[in-house]
């Protein structure tokens, strides 16, 4: 196995009784990049996160976090890894500030250092105004930010974020995106699982697809990614556009909220189509895939799940 | 070692801040205080009426007021399971356990910190009861009795807290672990008495008694000190006797007996002078093996034992029950804590059915 830092998982398996939550997961997540973890509910994402977070022992396979195996040296991994769980627990009687300070103390910081770090994090995750409020009064989105702050307390090299964006308003989502991007720019390894694929599209450099406890092979991902997808096209003159699309395209044209949708086989075909439309003197104002890359791949994989 | 204690200290202080800021704790403390106040007031009124005009008022007070100490023990062991029985699984339910496990504190630091916090919270109830315990000195209870009682009460609260914290780690559902902790307290407080009684009766030993009696029915046929002149062997009576000496340790593990036994006997009294003394005497006597082969001599009427020497003699020749009881209780408490610590090991291997990590 390579010793590049980041996260490396090989042939991971873990079952609970007769339920095989994870059967065969292998992937690498590289430092300086944001890796999206994508899969339907119950596909084993959270079980995988728990194994990466040194809380659950794999039945088979190996994990390396920054080159360290959490089964052999959990303390070494924990010192370098921050985990934001999907469950939103917080110490209800503590203030936001003291919750962050206490987390720092649990990471063996002394009082002064923990207080200084908590103060930094309040600004970083945008909870400064709520610093002296007890955590039980926080809204779901605010708890989410506190949880993220807790994961960042010891400035970890590797970040595991389990559904970090759920419950966040659009502004907070953008903040989160910016924060995650800047962490990756600092050379950290970030693994993000999310159901909101459009958002991962904006955030993730790489993607790992998980299905029924196993990673989907690179070939199948490539195939799904390049399969025919819908493009959204908008022009000032709708009916001439429809006529042009019927002429240049090779599929049914459908109406969608004032735009027209057309299946296109590949990126190259899309480029040809656009050239033809512009040449036909149509004033095109929007020309883009109707769904994001990750979502398209995810949906296509789901459709083809039964095929080998 | 210092690092270990620092980590456990962080868990402890977190746990304390979580507990003490809850309003429920103060309400419980208030109710506890009022209850003991009521019992003390009623006892004071009753005993002042009963001993009005009596010269030996102080010893009567001493007897009655040991009841207050028992009342504190009763309430303390009723409160402690509620304070400790959901420490670990409650955290797991509210999603704060895994976030702690993923930091640099170890499973043992978590368990130790949580146990100490549960114990200290329970000790607050003892502190609330302290004015009343000290007040009993005015009513004639020996200061030494109070000092020893307070120490034993503190230990008992520690044992119950340890069992509660341990079970909250071993059992997945908080409600269930609190109930089981109460059942363990009930087993120690009542179960040991039942076990002692039934155990003694179950383990019967055969006895033989050789009986001698005076052959003469004539009352003149005795010498000066009342011993019959003619004595004959009447035969052997066979029977069985319960062997409480084999199950007495069950009695010693009872918190109430343990407390009574730990309090030193009044050296100036020939008989047990208060409730604690009587209970201790009973428990110590149960340690003595019954005489299996005895002789009954109806001719010798002078052979009656001198009970004034027997009380202190029994105490001196038997095992200190509090020590045995304490060892039994500490083993149970340590096993519970150990079990919880092992269950919190991460990365977790086998998980009990229906439980989650986070």
Is position B236 within any domain? Answer: no
Sorted by where each starts, the structural domains of chain A and their CATH numbers stand as: 7-216 (3.40.50.300), 227-303 (3.30.70)
What part of A 38-57 touches B (C-beta under 8 Å)? 50-51, 53-57
Determine, for residues A92 and B18 on separate chains, whether the beta-carbon distance falls below 8 Å: yes
pLDDT at B89: 93
**Contact: A94, B353; criterion CB under 8 Å:** no
pLDDT confidence band for A227 (50 / 70 / 90): confident
Measured in angstroms, the CA of A216 and the nearest CA of chain B are apart by 26
Q: Which residue has the higher pLDDT, B50 or A23?
A: A23
- Rounded alpha-carbon distances, angstroms, from residue A32 to A5, A294, B50: 10, 20, 85
pLDDT tens digits along A118-151: 999 999 999 999 999 999 999 888 999 999 999 9
Among the partner residues B17, B21, B95, nearest to A88 by beta-carbon distance? B95
- Compute, in degrees rounded to 10, the torsion defined by CA atoms A53, A54, A58, A64: 80
Cβ contacts of B309 within 8 Å, gap of 6 or more: none
DSSP H or E run through A62: strand A60-65
A92 touches chain B (CB under 8 A): yes
Q: Which residue has the higher pLDDT, A202 or B205?
A: B205
B99:A78 CB<8 A: no
Please state the φ and ψ torsions of residue B320, each to the nearest 5 degrees. Answer: -65, 110
- Number of domains chain B contains: 1
The H or E element that residue B273 is part of is none
Q: Is the ipTM of this complex over 0.90?
A: no
pLDDT of residue A152: 96
Is residue B140 assigned to a domain? Answer: yes
Residue A129's Cβ-count burial label (10 Å; 0-12, 13-18, 19+) is exposed
Residue B21 within any structural domain of the chain: yes
**What is the pLDDT, as a whole number, of residue B110?**
96
Q: What DSSP character marks residue B191?
A: I
Domain contains B217: no
The answer to whether B145 touches B57, Cβ cutoff 8 Å, is no
The whole-number pLDDT of residue B57 equals 44
| pLDDT (mean) for A7-33 | 93
Residue B220's pLDDT is 59
Nearest one of A260, A168, A261, A196 to A36, comparing CA atoms? A196
| Summary mean pLDDT of chain A | 88
Distance CA A142, CA A100 (A): 13
In this predicted structure, what is the pLDDT of residue A288?
87
State the DSSP H helix or E strand holding residue A125, giving kind and residue range, or none if neither: none
CA angle B352, B344, A45 (to 5 degrees): 65
Is A216 a residue whose pLDDT tops 90? no
Structural tokens at position A142: 């605010």
Full domain range(s) for residue B135: 2-196+326-343
- CA B57, B61, B66: angle at the middle one, nearest 5? 160
Residue of A16, A85, A91 lying closest to B98 (CB–CB):
A85
Q: Walk along chain B (358 residues) in steps of 10 and give the mean pLDDT of each run.
A: 90 91 82 91 80 52 75 92 93 92 95 96 93 84 89 96 96 94 96 94 89 67 59 84 91 94 85 85 89 77 54 86 94 96 90 68
- Asked, for residue B144, whether it belongs to a domain, the answer is yes
Examine residue B241 and say whether the peptide bond preceding it is cis (omega within 30 degrees of 0).
Answer: no
* Mean pLDDT value of segment A154-167: 91
């Amino acid at each position: 196995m390579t010793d590049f830092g980041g996260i490396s998982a090989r042939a991971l398996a873990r079952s609970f009784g007769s339920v095989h939550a994870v059967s065969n997961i292998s992937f690498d997540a590289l430092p300086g990049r944001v890796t999206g973890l994508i899969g339907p509910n119950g596909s084993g994402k959270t079980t995988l996160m728990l194994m990466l977070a040194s809380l659950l022992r794999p039945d088979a396979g190996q994990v390396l976090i920054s080159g360290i195996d959490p089964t052999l040296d959990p303390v070494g991994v924990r010192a370098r890894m921050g985990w934001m769980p999907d469950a939103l627990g917080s110490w209800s009687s503590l203030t936001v500030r003291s919750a962050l300070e206490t987390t720092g103390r649990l990471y063996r910081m002394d009082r002064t250092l923990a207080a200084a770090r908590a103060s930094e994090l309040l600004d970083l995750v945008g909870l400064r105004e709520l610093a002296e409020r007890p955590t039980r009064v926080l809204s779901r989105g605010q708890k989410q930010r506190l949880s993220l702050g807790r994961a960042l307390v010891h400035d970890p090299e590797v970040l595991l974020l389990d559904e970090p964006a759920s419950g966040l308003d659009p502004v907070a989502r953008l903040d989160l995106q910016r924060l995650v991007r800047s962490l990756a720019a600092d050379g950290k390894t970030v693994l993000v699982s999310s159901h909101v694929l459009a958002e991962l599209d904006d955030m993730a450099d790489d993607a790992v697809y998980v299905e029924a406890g196993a990673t989907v092979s690179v070939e199948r991902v490539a195939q799904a990614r390049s399969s025919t997808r819908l493009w959204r096209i908008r022009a000032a003159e709708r009916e001439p556009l429809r006529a042009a699309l019927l002429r240049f395209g090779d599929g049914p044209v459908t109406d969608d909220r004032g735009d027209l949708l057309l299946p296109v086989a590949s990126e190259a075909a899309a480029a040809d189509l656009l050239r033809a439309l512009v040449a036909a003197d149509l004033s095109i104002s929007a020309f883009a895939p109707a769904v994001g890359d990750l979502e398209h791949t995810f949906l296509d994989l789901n459709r083809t799940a039964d095929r080998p | 070692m210092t690092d270990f204690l620092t980590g456990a200290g962080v868990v402890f202080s977190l746990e304390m801040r979580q507990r003490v800021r809850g309003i429920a704790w103060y309400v419980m403390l208030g109710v506890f205080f009022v209850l003991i106040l009521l019992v003390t007031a009623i006892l004071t009124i009753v005993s002042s009426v009963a001993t009005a005009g009596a010269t030996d008022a102080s010893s009567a007070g001493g007897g009655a007021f040991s009841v207050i100490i028992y009342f504190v023990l009763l309430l303390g062991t009723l409160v402690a399971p509620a304070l400790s029985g959901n420490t670990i699984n409650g955290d797991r339910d509210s999603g704060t356990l895994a976030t702690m496990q993923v930091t640099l504190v170890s499973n043992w630091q978590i368990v130790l910190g949580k146990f100490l916090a549960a114990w200290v919270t329970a000790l607050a109830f003892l502190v609330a009861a302290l004015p009343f315990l000290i007040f009993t000195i005015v009513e004639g209870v020996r200061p030494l009795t109070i000092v020893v009682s307070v120490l034993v009460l503190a230990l008992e609260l520690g044992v119950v807290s340890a069992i509660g914290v341990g079970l909250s780690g071993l059992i997945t559902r908080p409600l269930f672990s609190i109930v089981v902790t109460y059942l363990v307290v009930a087993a120690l407080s009542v179960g040991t008495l039942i076990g002692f009684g039934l155990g003694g009766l179950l383990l019967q030993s055969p006895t033989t008694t050789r009986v001698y009696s005076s052959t003469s029915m004539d009352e003149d046929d005795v010498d000066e000190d009342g011993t019959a002149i003619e004595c004959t062997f009447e035969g052997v009576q066979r029977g069985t006797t319960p062997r409480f000496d084999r199950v007495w340790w069950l009695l010693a593990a009872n918190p109430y007996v343990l407390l009574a036994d730990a309090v030193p006997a009044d050296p100036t009294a020939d008989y047990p002078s208060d409730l604690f003394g009587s209970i201790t005497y009973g428990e110590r006597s149960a340690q003595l093996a019954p005489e299996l082969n005895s002789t009954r001599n109806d001719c010798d009427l002078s052979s009656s034992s001198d009970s004034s020497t027997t009380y202190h003699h029994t105490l001196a020749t038997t095992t200190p029950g509090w020590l045995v009881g304490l060892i039994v209780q500490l083993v149970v408490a340590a096993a519970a804590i150990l079990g919880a610590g092992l269950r919190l090991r991460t990365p977790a291997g086998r998980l009990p059915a229906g439980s989650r990590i986070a």
